[in-house]
Structure 1
């Protein structure tokens, strides 16, 4: 590598000269041994990360002021050592200095023996939520991997898939397609989590056959691993564990399969799956986490048993369902979506329910015992809820439906949800006569935004191919 002309030593020497300070005086100010500082200035000793921090603080400069020069220090003015580079990478990540991380990684990976160490750092950053820095490391480690069947490569692709997920459904799909071919190269523990996250992506796009396929595999894999675990009293020291206990994945896969049956209108089969995930008597473990998990799935099962009666058109079940979910705030929005869906299907008047739960109509996140509902699934469901709400109000000759169409269109365009965009356009054109001039102008601007987004998507897809 070609170093910059200036060095940290030059900057420090200039500072001492300008301030009229001796090495001994500055050493006391910075908290560094004066002998060490003297050797550093003479180039007889490399600058450790701890020295860099103290020198920078002693000169009253921003912490990352010398970071670019420190890359030169590590690779040109001394031999690279992991003892200095690891803490530098971690602190650069914390301060958002991705440029420095990129420089270090590009130089280190000229020697592929550093790939495992960089991967380890990436894993730590991923767990800490420093995903931008982790993404950079995972990409570089992936590019350096010689063996395509490497588990490390598969883990990198899994993490990159997780990092890539956001509001844009087109990009989520691309990320899922890239990752899916690496799924079976992962350790089985990671496969369970991979199946779960893939299921969320395809569920948000309503690809229910694919979701069911993933749920079947999750159920098969989790069941095999759990049965093996029950037969063995001990676990290998280095054996990986998934994010959740194995019994959770069995129950969750059954829940997903129930949801798939619900989406296909097969409420009898959906109820059969409900009875399975409400029964936790087979779980061998006995602790507080097990009790909480069983209680949560039983709560979902009770709610869904009532829900499937509502979706099947049993109006007499509606009041019971409403009262049940009214005490469970994290379930109210999902319940409202299904209630309005049923109201449109069976021509029910549910104004009193919408008024009662009006505070839950705006989009927000929802938490459960196991964390927040998946963001992609919830944003998609909220867009569809707004459309169903528009249908409900327009059917009842209420102009407010136009506003809900526009809200859904704006949100659906933002996340590239083509199916909901098309439904919004169809609804607006059918009821254009109810819109005032301001709403028509807003609609026109949103359509323009949709067209621009579509052009960008087409360009993105072409580049990807």
Structure 2
């Protein structure tokens, strides 16, 4: 293929317009004079580093010639020695259009799949996720009929890249990826299960969460047990993202959460004992294992208080409240559950509400698994306002109507109003079925607001 001439033509015009010699342009660009001459005559291809140097010498942006350079990548012969650095540099400068053009030229050629996948992994590690996604999609398209482990890994990476603040979009990405999870290398399967659990749990798909947690537990136990079988000791074990014992403990934690969501606190409490027991059977004894086991012990103690409280044991409420003061990042969510239990069993928790009044605000926290998804925190904040409204109504407080309106308006702003409607319905039922004095004008305002969002 003949070399692309646009870059050479513009360089020639620049040298002539500025009355420059090749020696002078060599000085300003840092490219050898002989090399410039051979480039201008089309006797050799232009490397990416030379392209950047030419742009610098001409005083234009580093990506000025990138669109033209796509042709250069395929001139003389298809050369990954030029294509690879060009893709990586295009990713750095966010020239996704150039990457797309390169990939279009390489489409359907299995010979390049390995190199494209390796570049995608490099970009993923650099957190250049948009560029990486283009390469993963290209490799997936080329290998869509191969049923390969690499295809599964591409789909896993695309699933991770697709995760954001929109819970419904996250769910769509999870549904697309889920059929590939069993094809992943065992070293990645467990982490993929964890990632899927987070997504399905965020949209209350608890049946799916239970199924995945069961698979995680089974696979993690098999792998953990296998590393101590005598005839396998000398075999290389698959390296997982986290230690194998973590996934066993985490699966039990998730199973208990599922029972919690189903209101079966007896079963949830039994599982608490399992993920609190790690120190009795985990064989590893290093700084990381001690940190992980201590974390699960803390979660177990907190959840033991929680499940006892949600089962109706009022005496643990203050113990739970005292416990969570050690972990300020957990107070916001814990408070929601305390109010929920108070409403269920008609407890007075005025002292706790006063004690934690500074935490009755929308907050964002980081956890071991990263920062809480803001959409999930929005949901929890709306639930907190709904439970507060019901609590104040049950105790004949005028502030009840303000809280339910605040929660409804917040949910409307966050496009989450359908999930909050149940609180409004319960609130209205309680208002009209009781003899408690409630501001009729504010109730009318609430009903009008409901009518507005349904039109």
Common topology (TM > 0.5): yes
Matches within 5 A, 1:251-290: 251-280=249-278, 281-290=280-289
Which runs of structure 1 show a deviation greater than 6 angstroms over 4 or more consecutive aligned residues?
A: 1-4, 428-432, 436-445
Residues 1:339 and 2:338 are matched in the alignment: yes
Q: Partner residue of 2:402?
A: 400
- Name the count of aligned residue pairs: 441
**Equivalent pair of 1:389/1:404 in contact (CA under 8 Å):** no
Q: Decide which moves more: 298-307 or 183-192.
A: 183-192
Q: Decide which moves more: 332-341 or 245-254.
A: 332-341
Aligned pair in 2 of structure 1 residues 434, 117: CA closer, same or farther (>3 Å)? farther
Matches within 5 A, 1:342-421: 342-373=341-372, 377-395=376-394, 396-398=397-399, 399-410=401-412, 412-413=414-415, 418=418, 420-421=419-420
Q: Give the alignment's Cα RMSD to 1 decimal.
A: 2.8
Quote how far apart the aligned CAs of 1:204 are. Answer: 1.3
Q: Partner residue of 2:435?
A: none
Quote how far apart the aligned CAs of 1:241 are. Answer: 2.7
Q: Partner residue of 2:304?
A: 305
Quote how far apart the aligned CAs of 1:334 are. Answer: 1.9
Aligned pair in 2 of structure 1 residues 433, 31: CA closer, same or farther (>3 Å)? farther
Aligned pair in 2 of structure 1 residues 314, 101: CA closer, same or farther (>3 Å)? same
Quote how far apart the aligned CAs of 1:253 are. Answer: 0.5
Counterpart-to-counterpart distance in 1, 2:176 and 2:368: 31
Aligned pair in 2 of structure 1 residues 8, 428: CA closer, same or farther (>3 Å)? farther
**Equivalent pair of 2:220/2:244 in contact (CA under 8 Å):** yes
Aligned pair in 2 of structure 1 residues 45, 444: CA closer, same or farther (>3 Å)? farther
The CA deviation string for residues 232-276 of structure 1, in whole angstroms up to 9 with x for no partner, is 44553xx65332111110110011111112222222221211111
Matches within 5 A, 1:57-72: 57-72=56-71
Q: Partner residue of 2:316?
A: 317
Q: Partner residue of 1:29?
A: 28
**Equivalent pair of 1:212/1:256 in contact (CA under 8 Å):** yes
What secondary structure does 1:276 align onto? Answer: helix
Matches within 5 A, 1:53-202: 53-75=52-74, 77-202=75-200
Q: Decide which moves more: 162-171 or 212-221.
A: 162-171
**Equivalent pair of 2:116/2:135 in contact (CA under 8 Å):** yes
Q: Partner residue of 2:295?
A: 296
**Equivalent pair of 2:193/2:213 in contact (CA under 8 Å):** yes
Counterpart-to-counterpart distance in 1, 2:441 and 2:183: 56
**Equivalent pair of 1:109/1:115 in contact (CA under 8 Å):** no
Q: Which has the higher contact order (CA 8 A, sep 6+)?
A: 1
Rg comparison, structure with higher value: 2
TM-score where L is the length of structure 1: 0.87
Q: Decide which moves more: 47-56 or 147-156.
A: 147-156
Q: Partner residue of 1:326?
A: 325
The CA deviation string for residues 81-135 of structure 1, in whole angstroms up to 9 with x for no partner, is 1122111111211221111110011112242211121111112222222221122
Aligned pair in 2 of structure 1 residues 251, 376: CA closer, same or farther (>3 Å)? farther
Q: 5+ residue gaps in structure 2?
A: 432-438
Aligned pair in 2 of structure 1 residues 23, 394: CA closer, same or farther (>3 Å)? farther
**Equivalent pair of 1:390/1:401 in contact (CA under 8 Å):** yes
What secondary structure does 2:141 align onto? Answer: helix
Counterpart-to-counterpart distance in 2, 1:425 and 1:96: 47
Aligned pair in 2 of structure 1 residues 421, 18: CA closer, same or farther (>3 Å)? farther
The CA deviation string for residues 291-314 of structure 1, in whole angstroms up to 9 with x for no partner, is 000110111111111111211122
Q: Partner residue of 2:213?
A: 215
**Equivalent pair of 2:109/2:142 in contact (CA under 8 Å):** no
Counterpart-to-counterpart distance in 2, 1:263 and 1:436: 31
Quote how far apart the aligned CAs of 1:359 are. Answer: 3.8
